[in-house]
């Protein structure tokens, strides 16, 4: 099988330092769903999540991040030749000690993770499977405030958080739209 490189993008979220505490206060001081499931396929233990409201624009924390997230993703999309994006689903997941999210993929053309609360020395980053091998795993070197964005078909997971420090991420799906017209001129 021929291996094809796919763009995995990385950037800093615009205004991370200004919005981090506001969003964490909302998440930490309110009750949210927990997601735990274990069967032959799924092995998840997510302590706080609002995936079930991923399309709700009225969530207090979402109103804080919406504009900086959109601006950052649009800049990332422009770096690979697109001039417009459609942000479709946005939700958060908080992993406390022993929190994890098993292997999975998403719909849409791109998926991303924003590391809102992340201790690089203690929390595990997102782990990926190489699309053409499915046996080889890799990580992207990230730190708090980073966004990584990757094609939605890439299988990934949140490994077990063995730390006593919370890992809180905001995940999202979006579509890249309208290639830059300069790319299509011959």
Q: Give me the DSSP letters along 69-80.
A: HHHHHHHHHHHT
Strand blocks (E) in 13-142: 33-38, 43-49, 82-95, 101-104, 110-117, 127-129, 137-139
With H, G, I as helix, E, B as strand and everything else as coil, classify residue 3: coil
Q: What is the per-residue pLDDT across 114-157, written as a single tens digit (0 to 9) for each?
A: 999 999 999 999 999 988 888 899 999 999 999 999 999 999 99
Domains of the chain, start order: 9-177 (2.60.120.620)
What pLDDT score was predicted for residue 109? Answer: 94
Rounded CA-CA distance 186/173 in Å is 32
Q: What is the pLDDT of residues 58-113, one digit of tens each?
A: 999 999 999 999 999 999 999 999 999 999 999 999 999 999 999 999 989 999 99
How big is the chain, counted in residues?
Answer: 186
Confidence class for position 25, pLDDT limits 50, 70, 90: very high
Higher pLDDT: 21 or 1? It is 21
């Amino acid at each position: 099988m021929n291996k094809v490189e796919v763009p995995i993008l990385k950037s800093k979220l615009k205004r991370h330092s200004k919005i981090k505490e506001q969003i964490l206060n909302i998440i930490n001081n309110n009750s949210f769903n927990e997601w735990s499931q274990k069967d032959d396929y799924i092995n998840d233990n997510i302590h706080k999540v609002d995936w079930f409201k991923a399309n709700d624009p009225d969530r207090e924390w979402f109103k804080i991040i919406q504009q900086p997230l959109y601006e950052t993703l649009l800049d990332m999309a422009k770096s690979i030749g697109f001039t417009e994006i459609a942000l479709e689903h946005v939700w958060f997941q908080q992993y406390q000690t022993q929190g994890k999210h098993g292997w999975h993929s998403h719909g849409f053309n791109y998926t991303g993770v924003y590391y809102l609360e992340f201790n690089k020395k203690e929390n595990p980053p997102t782990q990926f499977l190489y699309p053409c091998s499915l046996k080889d795993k890799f990580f992207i070197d990230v730190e708090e405030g980073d966004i990584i964005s990757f094609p939605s078909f890439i299988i990934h997971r949140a490994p077990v958080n063995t730390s006593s420090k919370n890992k809180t991420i905001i995940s999202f799906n979006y579509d890249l739209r309208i290639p830059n017209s300069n790319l299509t001129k011959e």
